[in-house]
Amino acid sequence: MSADPTSTARSDSDRARGSALAHVIFNALLAIGFALLFWRAGDLPASMWEPLGSGSFPRLVLGALICFNLAIIVEQLRRLPHTSALAPGSIRRWLWQHRLALAVLALLTLYLLALPWLGFALASLSFLLATQILLGARSPRRLGVAGVIALVFSFGLAWVFADVFGIMLPAGVLG
Amino acid sequence: MDALLSSIDQLFTLSTLLTMLIGVIAGVVAAAIPGFTITMAIVLTQPLTFQMPPLQGIATMLAVYVGGSTGGLISAALLGIPGTPSSVATTFDAYPMARNGEPGRALAIGVWASFFGAVISAIVLILAAPPLALVAVKLGAWEYFSLIVFAMTVVASLVGRSVLRGLMSGLLGLLLASIGPDPMMGIPRFTFDTDLLAAGFPFLVVLIGIFAVSQLLGEVEDADQVRHGKALIASQVSFRPLDALRETLMRPLGLLRSSLVGVFIGAVPGAGGSIANLIAYDQARRASKTPEKFGTGTAEGVVASESGNSSTAGGGLIPLIALGIPGSAVDAVLMASLMIHGISIGPRLIMDHADLVYGMFLAMFVAAFLMLAVCMTSMRLFLKVTRVPRYVIVPVVLTCCVIGAYALNNRLTDVYLLLGVGLLGYILNKLHYPLAPLVLGVILGPIAETNLRRALMTNEDWSLFFTRPISLALLTLAVISVVMTLRHRWRTRSA
């Protein structure tokens, strides 16, 4: 079954416009942030022993970065007139396509936030189990394998690091 | 001659060969796991060598080093995540080759290239250690700064569709490196009085976050494939080491050139494998009759990167042995080990402990052969990673990354930085910004800044960057690198 040519053309156009807009927004935000840092770097103390102070090198880098941001913004703005307006629901569709990646990112964030409280072993066990289930370990056999993997890479690794390498992974409030 | 015979006598004992074999295995495994590094493996090995005779201890650590130089290839080829900073360029061709259904070929070519790189570097080490060391240490702050500028332009032009984005990515790395204590005066910069940023961005956290997190999130974008338990590589995997040997030896000049680049860059204190693999890759691409194939999974690219990074192991020993100057963090740990055994490092080392120095040369050869044996017998096992479903590999590797980031300095803040850098990497990846220049920027940023400031502290005259011959040559190469890339792209676009 071949794809509908109209919808393919539409999706390519959406992608081109979406990409150009994303570049413009990303670089504009970065340029504002870099400008603020450039201004802040001016407050860093100079040294009486050297012509360049603590803030000179970062200012050199930030100045160059702002120039590159502006160049990319101009480059992408010149492309925008050659693309058609985004179809309604494009952003929602993009979010839906990337739902698993975003969900894994959310689980990773929760895992890292839980580390100081639950400790490495418990937090890792929960993260490994939850992520494997989210990504497809749903049948009883897959769940059994996921459970063993979660145990080995949480409590198993914590034991190896503590008893073999002498490195204590975070024990947490409950540890 | 007596010293050589004595070193052979000490090195070729069952216990030394056994500890070296264990060292090679430990190095390969540590570098193959994203988040674990050669430096970490060497540091963990060091206390175990205290009770050994000096040569056995050093030979064991060299074995970890040589094994680790190759181990980074495994995750670079199979997952697209460089196991060590020195295998960043390996991801450019070994990963596409693996994704095209030839992971066994990518690994086998990489292992052979690493082996020949290590052997060539050991030969150069024996023949040219003192004169090369003298050239390497003649580089002043001006030349170091120019070398970094050259390396950054090479990297920016190597990857991605746009030089502009490549350069921006490199500068972003330099900016990340400037967060935290100033390398000269220790003044906190851009830390906003937070614990999170107080120590800055350790480059290994950036390496893990930028490559591993973004790559793994990319692996789970296709919900249908992931939920049906699809593995990283769906096709049948084969491993033919003899075919790979033939392919590697078909390019003797390229192999030699990349290895010599690795030896020289390794001999420059502070530069090391992280630059060598990229410059070797760039040189190979420029010399190639089919440069357009680089980045799509060509054997030439894998050979260049792997021989380039493996030969830095021998190169790094040159200033250490000849002058007592460690070329990298790993060499510094080796130096500390020698000192713990009561051996003073410096120009007299080769005169006072000739047997030990010859033993180190020979240990490089032995380690290279052991690495070859270990890799050729274990690669089939590593290739099984490609059969593991994505729903297993993604959370497991993410957990390893978290451990690696934490164990580096035992700091939870590094784990949070990992998340932030990972998110940045994912955004940059989606917008098609190359990630390698960013990592290189973080590694080279402090070296560039320190040398720029040191040069101007010595003499405020900026023109010295353009009047000192080596510095001028490096800056000219940087300009040529950018101009040639722009010209090539312009021609490709208008064709």
pLDDT at B108: 92
A54 and A29 part of one domain: yes
Q: In whole angstroms, what is the distance from residue A142 CA to residue A135 CA? A: 11
Supply the mean pLDDT for chain A: 87
pLDDT at B148: 81
Is residue A175 included in any domain, yes or no? no
A56 and A27 part of one domain: yes
A22 and A87 part of one domain: yes
Contact B412/A116, CB-based, under 8 Å? yes
A10 and A89 part of one domain: yes
CB nearest A101 (choices: B175, B221, B396): B221
pLDDT digits (tens, 9 = 90+) for B131-182: 766 666 677 889 888 888 887 777 766 665 677 888 899 899 999 999 999 9
What band does A3 get if pLDDT is binned at 50, 70 and 90?
very low
Is B442 near chain A, with CB under 8 Å?
no
The predicted model gives A35-46 an average pLDDT of 90
What band does A129 get if pLDDT is binned at 50, 70 and 90?
very high
Distances (CA, A) of B440 to A26, B321, B333: 22, 27, 22
pLDDT digits (tens, 9 = 90+) for A95-122: 888 899 999 999 999 999 999 999 999 9
pLDDT at A111: 96
> Is residue A9 scored above 60 in pLDDT?
no
Q: Name the closest residue on chain A to residue B414, using Cα atoms.
A: A112
How many angstroms from the chain centroid is the CA of residue B338? Answer: 24
Q: Element (H or E) spanning B239, and its range?
A: none
CB B301 within 8 A of CB B285: yes
Is A42 near chain B, with CB under 8 Å?
no
Q: Which of A94, A115, A138 is the last residue of a domain?
A: A94
The predicted model gives A122-127 an average pLDDT of 96
A108 and A39 part of one domain: no
Domain span at residue B78 reads 2-494
pLDDT at A90: 80
A:B CB pairs within 8 Å: 158
Is B480 near chain A, with CB under 8 Å?
no
A32 and A88 part of one domain: yes
Is residue A41 included in any domain, yes or no? yes
Domain span at residue A156 reads 98-165
What band does A32 get if pLDDT is binned at 50, 70 and 90?
very high
Is residue A47 included in any domain, yes or no? yes
Is residue A174 included in any domain, yes or no? no
Phi, psi of B231 (to 5 degrees): -80, 175
Contact A135/B226, CB-based, under 8 Å? yes
ipTM of predicted assembly, 2 dp: 0.89
Domains of chain B: total = 1
* Burial call B374-388: b when 16+ CB within 10 Å, e when fewer: bbbebbeebbebbeb
pLDDT at A1: 40
> Is residue A10 scored above 60 in pLDDT?
no
CB B203 within 8 A of CB B443: yes
Closest alpha carbon to B162 in A68, A26, A35: A68
CB B276 within 8 A of CB B327: no
Is residue A170 included in any domain, yes or no? no
CB nearest B415 (choices: A26, A115, A136): A115
A58 and A139 part of one domain: no
Helices A5-41 and A56-79: crossing angle, nearest 10°?
A: 160
Is residue A57 included in any domain, yes or no? yes
Contact B395/A128, CB-based, under 8 Å? yes
pLDDT at B137: 65
Is B460 near chain A, with CB under 8 Å?
yes
Give the number of C-alpha atoms closer than 13 A to the C-alpha of residue A139, restricted to the C-beta side.
6
CB nearest A127 (choices: B44, B174, B399): B399
> Is residue A71 scored above 80 in pLDDT?
yes
Question: How do B188-189 and B180-181 pair as beta strands?
Answer: antiparallel
Residues (pLDDT < 50) of chain B are none
pLDDT digits (tens, 9 = 90+) for A79-88: 888 777 777 7
Domains of chain A: total = 2
Q: State how far residue B437 is from chain A, nearest Cα, in angstroms.
A: 14
Give the residue with greater pLDDT, A164 vs A175.
A164
Q: Name the closest residue on chain A to residue B213, using Cα atoms.
A: A105
A167 interaction partners in chain B (CB closer than 8 Å): 407, 410
- Kindly give the residue spans of alpha helices, DSSP state H, lying in B312-353: 312-323, 329-340, 349-352
DSSP count for chain B of H helices, then E strands: 25, 2
A43 and A75 part of one domain: yes
A43-102 residues touching B, CB cutoff 8 A: 44-45, 47, 49-52, 54-58, 61-62, 64-65, 68-69, 71-72, 75, 97-101
A104 and A79 part of one domain: no
Q: In whole angstroms, what is the distance from residue B425 CA to residue B348 CA? A: 47
